[in-house]
Amino acid sequence: MSETRRPFYSQTAEEIAQQLEVSLQRGLTSTEVERRLEQYGENKLSHKKKTPIWKIFLNQFNNALVYVLIAAAILTAVVSIMQGHADFTDSIIIVAILIVNAVVGTVQEYKAMLSLEALNKMSAPHSKVLRDGNVQEISSEQVVPGDIVILEVGDIVPADLRLAEAVNLKIEEAALTGESVPAEKEVSTIESDEEIPLGDRHNIAFSTGLVTYGRGKGIVVGTGMNTEVGKIAGMLNEAPEQETPMQKRINQLGKVLGYTALGICVLIFVVGLIYGNDLLEMLMMAVSLAVAAIPEGLQVITTLVLAMGVQRLVKQNAIVRNLPSVETLGSASVICSDKTGTLTQNKMTVVRLWTPRGEVDTTEADLEEVNIKQLLLSATLANEAHLSDDPDAEQRFTGDPTETAIIALAEQKGLNKNQLEQQYNRLGEIAFDSTRKRMSTINRTDNGQLQTHLKGGTDEVLAISTHYLKDGERLPLTPEAREQIALANEAMAKQALRVLAVAYSDIDAMPTTITPETVETGLTFVGLLGMIDPPRVEVIDAVAQCRTAGIKPVMITGDHQITATAIASEIGILGEGDQVLNGSQLAALSDEELYEAVPHTAVYARVAPEHKMRIVQAWQKHNQVVSMTGDGVNDAPALKIADIGVAMGITGTEVSKNASDVILTDDNFATIVDAVKEGRRIYDNIVKAIQYLLSANIGEIVLIFIAIIFNLGTPLLPIHLLWINLVTDSFPALAISLDPAAPDTMQRPPIHAKTGFFTKGFIWRITYQGVMVGLISLVAYLIGFRDGGQELGQTMAFIAICLVELVHIRNLHSATKPSWRTPPHQNITLIWAMLASLALLLAVVFIPYMRDIFRLEMPDTTHWLILGGLMLIPLVLVNAFKLLKINTINGK
């Protein structure tokens, strides 16, 4: 149902009822309901179709490195056919690697999808509607535009309603607006030339809201995707998919390797023509070099490393929905977080008390003080919240969050609401309303004394108070005393506290009629209660760690500016030089002005969903990797377009979880920091694995290239190269990914989004270490060639490069620390991987059948001793470079 030119909030309920052809007294007829159900459809959000498993599988092949490997497999097969023996072993091996990689990636993403579905399983809510003149309870999915919905405490608002009745009605709308306090609703129209923010539309009840107080009735003006929640869900479908930094780096690596392999092939052809070699032989040699240039095991190793990271994060209460997102967390340079329920507990809590004796923290409040006891006693009695007698109940306190906060503190101090109501029998009450801003009860004590207990806004309570209580003595409320109370109220408000005043009075007889005029008069002011939705305990440390790690924390909330500023200051998000922007100020900024403002802005208050998207996009224009965390419907579009969206698993809405990359199953902001650390560890270890694999590939290229240039024969066959790349190197490369995080992991800035793997330091290390591996294996080849011809030379080169790589992996733990400074037990899996690779190498050499397949000879004792000496060279050389501080460039 689309709105007319005038928004629904600026029209009366009667006008809207006339437009929608419905009676406010009788509701829709059954016939009309069926017609509208057919016209508008069921009242539910449309979901994207679940990605079929075959599509997830095919997506695993969509990157440049895979394309290069497919090209190598095809070229190898073509050359084999041209040679006339049609041996497809090498091609089959490469294809098998790609399939294994795709299966691993598919399994991980499918498991994450199932985990999300399990989180989203919730019972379908029901609603009370007026149809054919009778109140009926129906499934919320059957609600249609024009239905008259009855709202009571505990109901979930099934659709967007224009309220026709609102009796002391309060609705919690935190998931949509971000406000931590329930919104007070009324039926009066809103006249404004400008569009009113969602949080200020007091005559509209929004879909997914929870009724916490009072009752009401409203006309359905929007269902399903035509609700405010539906509009946000629709925005998700328009948000483009983001490529993760890891995907960008892997694609860049694939392109570099592809160009390298192509360049090598061309160069070999030129050299072959110069020497006058056979064209087909040169083509096969070119293919051998292309195979040598590409680390075939890299794709499956990268996938497995990310998959193991996913499993580690599951144990740390984080579900990762797609593999590359694990590493993206480690690259995050900005974390934009919603306030309510993410940085705060989403639970109103009384934190400060004020009596004429002064202000105290609730942790220090003592019932021995008369004013404190009377303050909590009166506030608990003038209260509609409920307390469960079961101490193990999942939700002990139910009702309006402001009132549950009071009875929770009272019970903590020893005043149980249920017991108090037995001692102070309630005889009558005057409910809270938005005009009086007070609530009062009449109670009879055990000894028969009648008392009035009242709480409400400070000005409203002072207006009907004649005395104040101090140290048990009832004193006249003089102008000086009133000013003192007003200053205390102002001081609490500046702390972003929601302030309630409390008063009581002894009365001689029960009023004949219970009205505000007969009950709320001649009261004794007791004190003030200051409450707030407090920060999560662990958030302060988490924010401090973010700053140490070079990450900019940003708060984005729909709540009021004063509240957001106070919380942000308390937890460390709002620092010196940072500014606060509200939604109106943000809306007035152009995209260019917002681009200039975001680096200096730490808090955004009173923002709309589209504002959150603009903030994320402005940061991305600064080439920052942006993480957005949140739990509400209003967070979902920003979660979708962020580089990494993090949703809350417990309080998070289904819409926000579907839009996210990572879901926190414990709703703990601090888990983000753990996930960032895990992401950085994964990135560091993937870089180690890539450096290890590429240094071996460069070594192979150096060996074969020198042999071709100087016409020294063929030092390695394609099957040797595939064994080295897939077996000898893969096990250690995979095992080094289990290295623990470096001590300085969270003391250094994140890797820039546009920084690829090929930094100056990285290029230097793979170059000199690759040349080292190539020259060592060349020496082994020449010794073997001299002593026993081509086959012994190939055997010596093959064994040498395998042994050198197995020893060299120990150099990769750190770019600066010598290998002996990293004890083997720090990564015992690596030791087992080295032993496994060694055992497989010895099997190939010592088992005659395997030796024949690889066309090797058995070296004698002398040659084994030579190989043993050569394998130690990497340990000596690389550790010397580290000690001389020439293993890195500018410390990287």
DSSP state of 441: E
392/358 Cα distance (integer angstroms): 36
Among 46-50, 109-113, 156-160, the range of highest mean pLDDT? 156-160
pLDDT band (50, 70, 90) for residue 113: low
Give the mean pLDDT of 299-317: 79
Which has more pLDDT, 480 or 208?
A: 480
**Residue 97: per-residue pLDDT:** 67
State the pLDDT at residue 116. Answer: 45
Measured CA to CA, the distance from residue 492 to residue 359 in angstroms comes to 9
Cβ atoms of residues 206 and 216 within 8 Å: no
Q: State residue 474's pLDDT score.
A: 93
- Cα torsion through 672, 674, 680, 686, rounded to 10: -110
Q: Does the pLDDT value for residue 700 go beyond 50?
A: yes
Mean pLDDT for the stretch of residues 495-506: 92
Q: What is the pLDDT of residue 124?
A: 45
495 close to 488: Cβ distance less than 8 angstroms: no
DSSP per-residue string spanning 645-704: EEEESSS--HHHHHH-SEEETT--HHHHHHHHHHHHHHHHHHHHHHHHHHHHHHHHHHHH
> Tokens 């030119």 correspond to what residue?
5
Q: How confident is the model at residue 3 (pLDDT cuts 50, 70, 90)?
A: very low
Query: Given this model, what pLDDT does residue 476 score?
Result: 95
Question: What separation in angstroms does the CA of 542 have from each of 295, 538, 579?
Answer: 39, 6, 21
Residues 6+ away with beta carbon under 8 Å from 92: none
Residue 891: predicted pLDDT: 60
pLDDT value for 714: 82
190-219: pLDDT as tens digits: 887 777 888 888 999 998 888 888 889 999
Rounded average pLDDT over 14-22: 92
CA dist 417 and 440 (Å) reads: 16
Cβ(668)–Cβ(651) under 8 Å?
Answer: no
Per-residue pLDDT, 344:
85
CB-CB contact of 293 with 261 (8 Å) = yes
Q: 182: phi > 0 → left, psi -120 to 50 → alpha, else beta; which?
A: beta
DSSP string, 447-510: TS-EEEEEEE-HHHHHTTEEEEEETTEEEE--HHHHHHHHHHHHHHHHTT-EEEEEEEEEESS-
CB 403 within 8 A of CB 498: no
Tokens of 530: 């200051």
- What is the distance between the alpha carbons of residues 556 and 579, in angstroms, rounded to a whole number? 13
b/e sequence 79-110, b meaning 16+ C-beta within 10 Å: bbeeeeeeeeebbebbbebbeebbebbbebbe
Question: Which CB contacts under 8 angstroms, 24+ apart, belong to 817-826?
Answer: 817/882, 818/879, 818/882, 818/883, 819/875, 819/878, 819/879, 820/879, 826/739, 826/740
At 377, list the tokens: 């006693």
Q: With the CA atoms of 481, 482, 488 and 489 taken in that order, what torsion angle do they form, in degrees rounded to the nearest 10?
A: 160
Taking every pair of C-alpha atoms in the chain, what is the biggest distance, in angstroms? 121
The label of the residue with tokens 């001793």 reads: 865
**Per-residue pLDDT tens for 401-433?**
889 999 999 999 999 999 999 999 999 999 887
As a whole number of angstroms, the distance between CA 674 and CA 410 comes to 36
| φ, ψ at 294 (rounded to 5°) | -105, 120
Angle between helices 279-293 and 245-275 (to 10 degrees): 150
The count of residues in the chain is 892
Judged on CB neighbours under 10 Å (0-12, 13-18, 19+), 808 is buried
* Confidence at residue 804, expressed as pLDDT on a 0 to 100 scale: 95
- Look at 268-272, 313-317, 877-881 and tell me which has the smallest mean pLDDT: 268-272
pLDDT given at position 670: 81
- Distance (Å, whole) CA 770 – CA 801: 11
pLDDT at 121: 44
Q: How many CB atoms lie within 10 A of CB 7?
A: 17
β 358-361/349-355 pair status? antiparallel
DSSP state of 811: G
Q: How confident is residue 317, by pLDDT bands cut at 50, 70 and 90? A: confident
What pLDDT sits at residue 119?
Answer: 41
Average pLDDT over residues 122-132: 75
Exposed/middle/buried for residue 576 (C-beta within 10 Å: 0-12, 13-18, 19+): exposed
- How far, in whole angstroms, is CA 52 from its chain's centroid? 24
Tell me which DSSP letter residue 814 carries: -
Instruction: Record the pTM.
Output: 0.72
Catalytic residue selected from 90, 147, 160, 338: 338
Q: State CA 273 to chain mean position distance.
A: 57
**What pLDDT does 2 receive?**
42
Q: How far is CA 661 from the centre of its chain?
A: 7
**DSSP element (H, E) containing 604:** strand 601-605
pLDDT recorded at residue 349: 92
Mean pLDDT, the chain, rounded, equals 85
Phi, psi of 531 (to 5 degrees): -130, 160
What average pLDDT does this structure show over 12-20?
92
Average pLDDT over residues 275-285: 69
Maximum mean pLDDT: which of 54-63, 150-159, 501-510, 748-757: 501-510
Residue by residue, what is the 3-state secondary structure of 745-789? Answer: HHHCCCCCCCCCCCCHHHHHHHHHHHHHHHHHHHHHHHHHHHHHC
Q: What is the pLDDT of residues 323-376, one digit of tens each?
A: 777 777 888 999 998 887 778 887 889 999 999 999 999 999 989 899 999 999
> Comparing C-alpha atoms, which of 40, 21, 48, 35 is closest to residue 224?
40
Residues 6+ apart with CB under 8 A from 359: 352, 353, 488, 491, 492
Q: What is the mean pLDDT of residues 588-601?
A: 94
Nearest to 627 by CA among 554, 686, 549, 677: 554
By percentage, how much of the chain surpasses pLDDT 90? 39
Residue 245 pLDDT class (50, 70, 90 cuts): low
DSSP 851-880: HHHTT-----HHHHHHHHHHTTHHHHHHHH
What does the pLDDT average to over 44-65? 74
Q: How far is CA 793 from the centre of its chain?
A: 55
Average pLDDT (60-86) is 72
Task: Tell me the pLDDT tens digit for each residue of 726-749.
Answer: 778 888 988 998 899 888 889 888
364 C-beta neighbours (distance < 10 Å), count: 8
| Cα–Cα distance measured from residue 603 to residue 125, given in angstroms and rounded to the nearest whole number | 35
pLDDT of residue 549: 93
Highest mean pLDDT among 172-186, 425-439, 541-555: 541-555
d(CA 44, CA 224): 4
**Mode of pairing for the β-strands spanning 204-205 and 349-355:** unpaired
In this prediction, residue 101 carries a pLDDT of 65
SS3 letters for 395-408?
CCEECCHHHHHHHH
Residues 141 and 151: beta-carbon distance below 8 Å: no
pLDDT recorded at residue 283: 67
Residue 776 has pLDDT above 90, yes or no: yes
Rg (CA), the chain: 36
% of the chain exceeding 70 in pLDDT: 89
Collect contacts of 447-450 with beta carbons under 8 A, ≥24 apart: 449/506, 450/506, 450/507, 450/508, 450/509, 450/510
Q: Is 508 a catalytic residue?
A: no
Look-up: residue for tokens 């890539």? 690
φ, ψ of residue 158 in degrees (nearest 5) = -80, -20
Over residues 646-676, the pLDDT tens digits come to 888 877 777 777 778 888 888 777 888 888 8
Predicted local distance difference test score (pLDDT) of residue 890: 64
Summarize the chain as % helix, strand, coil (round to 5): 55, 15, 30
When pLDDT is averaged across residues 39-43 and rounded to a whole number, the result is 90
Quick one: tokens of 507?
Answer: 């009365």
Query: Which residue(s) pair with 644 in the sheet?
Result: 627
What is the structure's pLDDT at 874? 95
